[in-house]
Structure 1
């Protein structure tokens, strides 16, 4: 085995972790792959001669790459929170290790949407420290701050996340029971049953891509979301639904005539739905290629 093959082998040992870091930073599976590839290119140029902790070094490199990508979005005037949902990770209960790593720690779409609203330095400090345990002493140089300043950024991000992204119930069976009740109510056109499974402060985000003028649509509050009962009813009658895990929580993959129609993610807290994310953008669904019922 030559030096480059040895280097590539060592890099592959960290690829799954690096993809998970990049996905949480960027909310995009394609961009996460790009960030990981850039980390490989930088490692290939640097070699491992002076790298004591390869995993830590690669994590900080991916962090820097993702930070640059987030800042580039801002410079281009993009507003990801308003423009589109993060990419969902659709899995079965038994799946491959890479996709399990992407959804570990209940990183639901609702949480990723909140992360999109953070500043790039806040997001990096929160993701690297709170989700991956990187010390602030290692995070500080990435964002050109002191460790104390990096700690404050993570603390500010943590407060925003806790206030805007309720933690899902840990029991997957309980989650599925509530989602099944939602689906039954939608198919039956039962407004009262629909209201019963919705939290008073539920938030619905629907991303239809270019097919939906104005970008992502956001509805807040049980009355507003339940007011879509007729739409839920028509959609449920037209489509075939398959239970799936979407970012580790109960979700649905809906198909129409054998083609993916939408992916729905649900956040269930205290037996009530607190958030619903619906991705129905045909172009993105084709790229994600979820298994249809």
Structure 2
């Protein structure tokens, strides 16, 4: 099979796996390109299952990348958050390379609780619905080992797996409430949509000022917003966008993406449990508006 055909056929799947593993679209694209460069050197006629070969190659490269990146993330200034995947509201989210309505930004953040191998097992099993046999083949492990890893993951995550919101009206109300609050400085209505123990995490990467630790509780989040709004933190054009196929907000300032705001709902999809603000310019430079 010609490389061009192989590339077109499997590009979306492989990029999706790598992005979910790494939390960075740029790194995901690099990994996938490396794998296809490797395939160029192969006699593909002797590869029995090209899809399985490519998935295995990408997954294991991602595991190695994460292991080497661990030390870099340990010295990262403030919390590390994944790179958001942005689509403007008027665009079609299905045009993205990375497509899966079940994968929210909060889901990507949750994956950071897992080590590299656990992340691979969870993505292949929970997201792509791979059998334990297929997972074992991809990771060079036994089926029994993969089952044990998956069981360990479930215990580690408990009930933390985010549920994508299915209530578009509630999502719209949340977005509009935040945009209005950023203009007036009155966040009372917005904060009423949060759980009592809501958590706000900001990622400026040491390049943009932000809280160096998560802000816990709706009252502290309200206090933070009241403190930063007068300083012009949200000054600019706040746009409703799709972030990993859920609704969020993009702040444009001087025609440049300045920060992204994502939300994670509680299990009942009634209130917001997590807020993520990404302002590290390295994680926004891929956004095209």
Q: What TM-score range do you get, normalising by the shorter chain?
A: 0.7 to 0.9
Q: Does 1:264 align with 2:257?
A: no
CA RMSD for the aligned pairs? 2.6
Aligned match of 2:280: 281
Could you give the per-residue CA deviations for residues 252-281 of structure 1, whole angstroms, max 9, x where no partner exists? 111223322211112234332221111112
Residues 95-125 of structure 1: per-residue CA shift (max 9 Å, x gap): 37562x5241332222211212211110010
1:78 aligns with 2:77: no
Number of residue pairs aligned between Structure 1 and Structure 2: 284
Give the aligned partner of residue 174 of structure 2.
Answer: 178
Q: Compare relative contact order (CA 8 Å, sep 6+) and give the higher one, 1 or 2.
A: 2
> Residue 82 of structure 1: CA displacement?
5.7
Pairing partner for 1:52 from 48, 57, 80: 48
2: CA distance between counterparts of 1:213 and 1:37?
A: 34
Structure 1 residues 122, 275: closer, same or farther in 2, change over 3 A?
A: same
1:232 to 1:175, Cα distance in 2 relative to 1, 3 A: farther
State the distance in 2 between where 1:260 and 1:139 align. 38
1:252 match: 249
Mark the CA change 1:253 to 1:223 in structure 2 (over 3 Å): closer, same or farther: same
Are 2:237 and 2:251, in contact at CA under 8 Å, matched by a contact in 1? yes
Identify the structure with the greater helix proportion: 1
Shift of 1:54: 1.8
2: CA distance, partners of 1:70 / 1:97: 28
Show structure 2 runs of 5+ residues with no match: none
- Cα distance in 2, alignment partners of residues 231 and 63 from structure 1: 43
Instruction: Give the 5 Å matches for 1:145-184.
Output: 145-161=141-157, 163-184=159-180
The secondary structure found in structure 1 opposite 2:214 is strand
CA contact (8 A) 1:208 1:280 kept: yes
Where in structure 1 do 4 or more consecutive aligned residues deviate above 4 Å? Answer: 80-83, 212-216
Q: Which stretch has the larger CA shift, 155-164 or 252-261?
A: 155-164
Query: Which of 102, 107, 125 is the aligned partner of 2:103?
Result: 107
What secondary structure is seen at the aligned counterpart in 1 of 2:98? helix
Say if 1:53 and 1:96 are closer, same or farther in 2 by CA, change over 3 A.
farther
Which secondary structure state, in structure 1, belongs to the residue aligned with residue 73 of structure 2?
A: coil
Cα offset, 1:128, TM superposition: 1.1
- Scaled by the length of structure 1, the TM-score of the pair is 0.86
**Cα pair distance change 1:179/1:155, threshold 3 Å:** farther
Structure 1 residue runs of 5 or longer lacking an equivalent are: none
Query: C-alpha separation between the residues in 2 aligned to 1:233 and 1:97?
Result: 34
Residues in 1 aligned to 2:143 and 2:213: alpha-carbon distance in whole angstroms: 38
